Amino acid sequence: MSELTGITLSRARDLLTKGEVSSKELTQAHVQAVEAARSLNAYITETPDKALKMAEASDARRAKGEAGVVEGIPLAVKDLFCTEGVLTTAGSHILDGFKPPYESTVTGNLWRNGAVMLGKANLDEFAMGSSNETSYHGPVENPWRRQGDNRPLVPGGSSGGSAAAVAARAALAATGTDTGGSIRQPASFAGIVGMKPTYGRCSRWGIVAFASSLDQAGPMTRSVRDAAIMLRAMAGHDEKDSTSVDLPVPDYEQALTGDIRGLKVGIPREYRVEGMPQEIEALWQQGIQWLKDAGAEPVDISLPRTHYALPAYYIIAPAEASSNLARYDGVRFGLRAEGAGSLEELYELTREAGFGREVKRRVLIGTYVLSAGYYDAYYNKARKVRTLIAQDFHDAYKEVDVILAPTAPSAAFAIGDLVDDPIAMYLNDVFTVPASLAGLPAISVPAGLSGDGLPLGLQLIGKAFDEETVLRVGGVLEDAAQFTHEPAFVAGR
Amino acid sequence: MASYRIAGNTGEWEVVCGLEIHAQIISKSKLFSAAATEFGGEPNSQVSPVDAGMPGMLPVINRFCVEQAIKTGLGLRAQINRHSVFERKNYFYADLPQGYQISQYLEPLVGEGTVYLDMPDGEVIPVGIERLHMEQDAGKSLHDQEPGKTYIDLNRSGVALMEIVSKPDIRSPEQAGAYIQKLRSILRYLGTCDGNMAEGSLRCDINVSVRKPGAGLGTRCEVKNVNSVRFVMHAIEAEATRQIELIEEGGEVIQETRLYDPRKGETRSMRGKEEAHDYRYFPDPDLLPLIVENDWVERIKADMPELPDEKKQRFIQDYGLGAYDAGVLVAERETADFYEDVANGRDAKTAANWVTGEFFGAMNKAGVDLDEAPVNAAMLGELLDLMADNTISGRIAKDVFEEMWETGKKAGAIVEEKGLKQITDTGELEAILDKVIAENPEQVQQVKDGNQKVMGWFVGQAMKATGGKANPKMVNELLRKKLG
Amino acid sequence: MAVDKDTVAKIAKLARIRVEPEQQEALTQELSNILRWVEHLGELDTDGVEPMTSVVEMNLKMREDEVADGRRQNDIVANAPESKHGFFVVPRVVE
């Protein structure tokens, strides 16, 4: 590991600012790290030439005194973000060869703020998955291993490539997207920080859509401060996204005061689920104690409809997905199946060949729940439940400022363990989905290790557009946890 | 007006129709993208990645298109819904890039309204409007470019449409024709749709059913995409006749979608060609509900032009026109303006007779539109003035008008040039009459014997002798003095 | 509610995804399991609850009527598996 890849983004920024390192040096070190980490399969597309060009341009800008918020910082971009002229696959066979003629707003914001692109990170196909095993481009390996067990583990999903790259020091930070937990759960599995901002905070324009009412981009980093810096560079109002909110983007770093005295932290009793490992419960208790020690006041709260969040999510998300994925038809871009004699056949063969099993499953579920005669029983019912879940949070925030809960019900599991059990796989999202349904900001902070040496995250859920409190409390948690463990695999080591 | 009935073997049948009209909204850019809406153009040259359904692309609604739809709703005297929702209508088709059409379903922008039909006999028939909603157009498929291939052009993909659904209040092909004409007239007055059926800016689906007068509604069939008023009228007749024959032969009408074949003059089933649809409508999560504030509607209302119905009423009241003439004059805003320019300061009825008679006749004969006519309102007005002050007779005026139409010259110049000025000099007229009287002693005797008809013959002779320029009124008076 | 093979075939047709006969059985089982699982929702009383349309509390954003895109035929068809003379090309659609 180069000393330039092992540092945090904020440290790198300071070195760049002081002129102790150039973006080109920093980027070169990371390009090497990306190569060294190939065994993880964290990247679908590496863009070293582009990275070096961007780094040179960044150094030139800095020389002119025009440094942006993330000037010169090399990043991994989840391959769900459209990048102009660069292959964008969404982890699917059906987007074979697709080079968008446009740049997503979020990546555009990052480049405008000076960042450098190392490549496109692997992910579950169309972000549908919790283990990165549904990617057409193969599973990603978690850089972590259980103690005394060399079986490869999943990095979580769907932003598994982003999580693995950041954990393995093959990127200073990465973009992720979170629909039901796709940033937070892999962050927890890979021992990094992952933040899903409030729905509407980051533009969805140019991000391949999975479930439009839930999708939200966010940062994946090795520290809370890095997440604050990244979010500031990613967020902002976008006229091209009707659901993007026109609010000023604060300097989130300013929120990291470390002072949470008097803050009320809600502890939702419904997150104590059956079968949850004792060590996760213990870590949660530890988290409560840390925050108490820092002067916050834990408050027992109830989010009574929590139990129904997951089934509601697994109706709403597939329903939207079934419609969002209708455009992949072999006509205007991507894969077209050979040998179709009619348009109908072309559609059916292309989508048969182009979509993987999990995507097909969800498209079919989504088609079913929207179809005549079932709409009210499933889709409308789920939307009503969603209203109630949002109401639960709304009521809770009358009493508390932020909510603390585990991120995931388990540590990383082995590749292949859950692939044949969709529902067991879906249960990974049990703690992350409620905040997604309510559109609330949430962060996962690495807080400790499991008995067999795997990272575990704690999650903080905030009020809408109050990312600052989430980050501030996250920073306190991070300081208290002192999570300095490193994964078994670190690039270049 | 007598009710329209179709005679069958078992007696008379009544036709019941409702129309669904797709009207393209006039706007510079598309409903959800910033690409141009112009007709024509290179294939896929007026397409943004949004219109091509590319990954990650999102719709943002065009405020002006919403305003146009609200304006239209107001023009249809309809309820403007303060809360409406865009939904996705999901189906696969080659020219539907997203795999869904953004439309409105459960909560349309505009609710119930009324359109009044102006029938030729002056009768006014109200037709209910069920709803108006906004949606996006699809692209175009071309099947004849290459064997075995379909070419797709997305230039129209995403263009804003209004779907205007009538209640089943239409009872004859004529009423259907009048409905389309009236709707078209309102849309054109408002400037919300150009109403061009040939270019597809106005497209029509017809729901047709038949019943014995007074009976409950029969099963309806939908006849798709009929693209001229004449075809709509034919299609209704053909479809109603088909249904009547079917029922009278003991068959049953099946609710289905049919296609009108203008060459054969019949409708045929699209069954088999169109599998059972299940559109799976749901609110588009890329968009929020459309909230229309009261003051927005009020501002649009304040900006509304006078519409055909109000104008017609005003023409009847202020100009003393008959309902039919008034209806004809207000059908197009430009025509109404033209008429008002001609009528301004002149006899309104004479102006109406000339505009609807000579002027429209000449336009039809030449096959030109108002803005291409060689005679403008000021020129026609001048001609009417020459008649009014007895410079020329009505008879001569028609010749002058013809000349004006052909040459584009002004009436005064033609009258001057050709010496068409009316003879009103008593001495000159008396001399002419004396000559006619002297040459026709036999006819003079007949008049004296009491045959008044021969008086008319003398008028004719006098006109003939002056090449029509004699003032007919003066000729009459003088003759009566001389022969009476 | 469990779905049967015919229903699965029907929705697969609606979704334009070919399902080979040998996959039908397993897929039907999987989808039935998922549907049974999400049906927990039925336990929750949602009478009088408004279905959520949007999680963000804001008005629909509108743009002005300006032409600011298009005139990029090459971009539009560049990724097409088959295109000619600026058109997308597909197997003949029978009308």
pLDDT in tens, A326-385: 999 999 999 999 999 999 999 999 999 999 999 999 999 999 999 999 999 999 999 999
Q: Based on the domain organization, do B246 and B338 belong to the same domain?
A: no
Is residue B273 very low, low, confident or very high in pLDDT (cuts 50, 70, 90)? very low
Neighbours of chain A (3+ CB pairs under 8 A): B, C
What confidence score (pLDDT) does residue B476 get?
87
C71 with B143: Cβ contact below 8 A? no
**For the segment A201-221, what is each residue's pLDDT rounded down to a tens digit?**
999 999 999 999 999 999 999
Please give the average per-residue pLDDT across A247-258, as a whole number. 97
Restricting to B residues 307-346, those with a Cβ less than 8 Å away from any Cβ of A are: none
B97 with A327: Cβ contact below 8 A? yes
Report which of A54, A19, A493, C13 is spatially closest to residue B277, judged by C-alpha positions. C13
Q: Based on the domain organization, do B133 and B275 belong to the same domain?
A: yes
Query: Which are the contacts of A66, defined by CB distance < 8 A and separation ≥ 6?
Result: none
Coil, strand or helix: which one is B59?
Answer: coil
Q: Based on the domain organization, do B33 and B155 belong to the same domain?
A: yes
> In A282-361, where do the E strands start and end?
297-301
Q: Which CATH class is domain C5-41?
A: mainly alpha
CA dihedral (A58, A61, A62, A65) in degrees, to 10, reads -160
How far is the CA of B23 from the CAs of A299, B1, B133, B188, B206, in angstroms? Answer: 59, 30, 10, 11, 14
A327 with B92: Cβ contact below 8 A? no
Is residue B430 a part of any domain in this protein? yes
**For the segment A445-480, what is each residue's pLDDT rounded down to a tens digit?**
999 999 999 999 999 999 999 999 999 999 999 999
Range of the domain at B443: 426-483
What confidence score (pLDDT) does residue C1 get?
63
Which of C17, C31, C44 shows the shortest C-beta gap to A355? C17
Is residue B167 a part of any domain in this protein? yes
B151 with C87: Cβ contact below 8 A? yes
The answer to ipTM > 0.95 is yes
- State the number of CA atoms in the 13 A half-sphere of A391 facing the CB: 13
Asked which of B274, B300, B326 is the last residue of a domain, the reply is: B300
pTM (2 d.p.): 0.93
Which of C54, C86, C90 shows the shortest C-beta gap to B44? C86
CA A367 to chain centre: 26
Domain count for chain B: 3
**Would you say residue B451 has pLDDT above 90?**
no
Residue from B282, B284, B288 whose CB has the most chain A CBs within 10 Å, to mutate:
B282
Q: Based on the domain organization, do B413 and B430 belong to the same domain?
A: no
**For the segment A44-57, what is each residue's pLDDT rounded down to a tens digit?**
999 999 999 999 99
What mean pLDDT value characterizes chain B?
93
Report which of A115, A129, A124, A107 is spatially closest to residue A207, judged by C-alpha positions. A107
Identity (one letter) of the amino acid at B193? C
Residues of A in contact with C15 (CB under 8 A): 322, 351, 363-364, 367
**Structure tokens given for B237:** 């007749």
Q: Which of A219-233, C40-54, C55-69 has the highest mean pLDDT?
A: A219-233
Distance from CA of C74 to the nearest CA of B (A): 9
Topology (CATH) of A9-255: Amidase signature (AS) enzymes (3.90.1300)
Given the structure tokens 């002192």, which residue do they identify? A482
Please give the average per-residue pLDDT across A252-268, as a whole number. 98
Q: Based on the domain organization, do B272 and B216 belong to the same domain?
A: yes
Coil, strand or helix: which one is C35?
Answer: helix
Neighbours of chain C (3+ CB pairs under 8 A): A, B
Q: Beta B257-261 vs B221-226: how paired, if at all?
A: parallel
Burial of C50 (0-12, 13-18, 19+ CB in 10 A): exposed
Residues of C in contact with B36 (CB under 8 A): 67, 70
A95 with B94: Cβ contact below 8 A? no
Coil, strand or helix: which one is B120?
Answer: coil
What confidence score (pLDDT) does residue C35 get?
95
Tell me which residues of A are annotated as active site.
Answer: 78, 158, 182
Residue from A88, A125, A332, A335 whose CB has the most chain B CBs within 10 Å, to mutate:
A332
Residues A124/A136, Cβ–Cβ less than 8 Å? no
Is residue B1 a part of any domain in this protein? no
**Would you say residue B1 has pLDDT above 80?**
no
How far is the CA of B149 from the CAs of A326, B140, B143, C76, in angstroms? Answer: 22, 14, 7, 19
Question: CATH number, domain at B472?
Answer: 1.10.10.410
Query: How far apart, in whole angstroms, are the C-alpha atoms of residue B81 and residue B104?
Result: 12
Return the axis-axis angle of helices B377-388 and B333-343, rounded to nearest 10°: 30
Give me the percent of chain A exceeding a pLDDT of 70: 100
Give me the percent of chain A exceeding a pLDDT of 90: 97
